[in-house]
Every structure is written in C-alpha cells, then in structure tokens.
C-alpha cells in the first residue's frame, strides 16, 4: 500500500467488456489429488456467471497430455510421477459442477502457463476480444496459476488473482503465491469483491 501511494489495489475499476476470467486446470483428476480444490468450484462458477452476464469473457484452460518420455520432466519429477500425469491428463475432464457455456473459450496449454508464447493460443484469442484485464482462477495457485499470472502481466494485461477461487496443496503455498502476485504482478481480491467490481463496471 505504501508503494501504491496508499491504495490497496492497483486496479480500482475494471471494464467487464474488456475482462476475461481465466480458469486454469480445474480438472476432476486434480480434485481427486487435492481435495481442497473442490471448494473453489462454487466461487469460480459465480465469477463466470457474473462476468458473462456483464459481457465479459470466460476461458477454460486444460493441460495437454504429458509426453510419455521427456528427459527434462523425468529428471524433475521422476519416471513414476511422469507416467502418472500422462494417465491423468490424457482424458482430462473439467471438474464436476462447473457450468461451461457454448460461448466460452476452451483452450489447451502445453506448459505451466496459459500465457507463455507458443505454448497456448489463449493470448491471441483474448486479443481478438480486446481483453485488457484477466482474472486468474484454478489450480494450483503456486504453479500453473502463478505462472499464468506472471506471464500475463509481462504481456501487459491487468492481472487479478481471485484468492478464494484458487487452490494449492497447502495454505502456505497458496499464501506465498498470492503474496508474490500482490507484491510484483497484480492485485489479489476475493470473489465477492470481484463480483462487486464487475457490477460497478457494468453500471458505468
């Protein structure tokens, strides 16, 4: 707040027509691995419905199947973990209870970030919609969501992380990732606050 001259948020208003909710890797298989992830389905759904109704975009990002052999990933994760992720992502389905709309963007990413050049077509798709602000939600807060938020900020988007619409394997990892975003890359807000912000933008 001191660095922002007393302002709690860098982005105090948004234009819903130029805003996209980007939901990263909210897959049913991930909920099985990280049960607390189930708690974010409801806030993600509320955000999606409110932003759609205000004329904004909703994008669902899913992970590409992992390669069966990848020396770099095998060195990082180990062969057994790499094999498990191949099985879990090959027939990936979105989490139970999510409400996808036919007008939503559904796109595959081939890396951690949905915004890394050449690894996902999301930036081009959002550019066609003149999107300026992205609200990041999904799993895991400190891996794919944080990676996406960092790259989105680098590309010039106004980035907001939805604190209660992201999930990690521990509270410590979750809070550390949100701190990193708040400190250097964007804003962090709760879902109810974001819905109010969307409504205020609609009334302008």
131 inside domain: yes
141: domain range? 16-64+94-203
Structure tokens at 123: 């930036």
Task: Give the mean model confidence (pLDDT) for residues 107-128.
Answer: 96
Residue 7 lies in a domain: no
Contact 50, 165 (CB under 8 A): no
pLDDT for residue 101: 97
In a domain, 4, yes or no: no
CATH of the domain at 27: 3.40.50.850
d(CA 180, CA 160): 12
Tell me if 50 is assigned to some domain: yes
pLDDT in tens, 54-108: 999 999 999 987 655 667 766 866 766 555 554 444 446 899 999 999 999 999 9
Whether 82 maps to a domain, the answer reads no
> Across the chain, what does the average pLDDT equal?
90
Q: 83 in a domain, yes or no?
A: no
**Residue 43 to residue 179: CA distance in whole angstroms:** 20
User: Where are the alpha helices (H) located in 12-155, listed in sequence order?
Assistant: 28-33, 41-53, 71-77, 79-90, 122-128, 146-154
Mean predicted confidence (pLDDT) in 133-138: 98
Number of domains in the chain: 1
**What are the pLDDT digits (tens) for 149-195?**
999 999 999 999 999 999 999 999 999 999 999 999 999 999 999 99
% of the chain beyond a pLDDT of 90: 74
């Amino acid at each position: 707040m001191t660095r922002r001259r007393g302002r709690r948020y860098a982005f105090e208003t948004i234009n819903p027509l130029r805003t996209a909710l980007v939901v990263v890797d909210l897959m049913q298989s991930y909920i099985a691995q990280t049960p607390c992830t189930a708690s974010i389905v409801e806030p993600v759904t509320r955000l999606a419905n409110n932003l759609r109704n205000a004329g904004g975009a909703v994008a669902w990002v899913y992970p590409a199947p992992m390669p069966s052999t990848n020396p770099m990933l095998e060195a990082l994760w180990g062969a057994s973990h790499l094999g498990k992720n191949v099985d879990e992502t090959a027939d990936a389905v979105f989490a139970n209870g999510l409400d996808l709309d036919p007008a939503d963007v559904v796109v595959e990413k081939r890396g951690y970030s949905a915004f890394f050049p050449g690894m996902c077509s999301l930036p081009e798709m959002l550019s066609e919609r003149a999107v300026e602000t992205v609200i990041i939600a999904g799993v895991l807060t400190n891996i794919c969501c944080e990676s996406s938020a960092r790259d989105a900020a680098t590309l010039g988007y106004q980035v907001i992380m939805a604190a209660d619409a992201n999930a990690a394997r521990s509270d410590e990892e979750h809070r550390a990732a949100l701190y990193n975003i708040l400190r250097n890359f964007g804003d962090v807000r709760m879902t109810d606050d974001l819905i109010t912000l969307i409504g205020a933008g609609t009334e302008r």
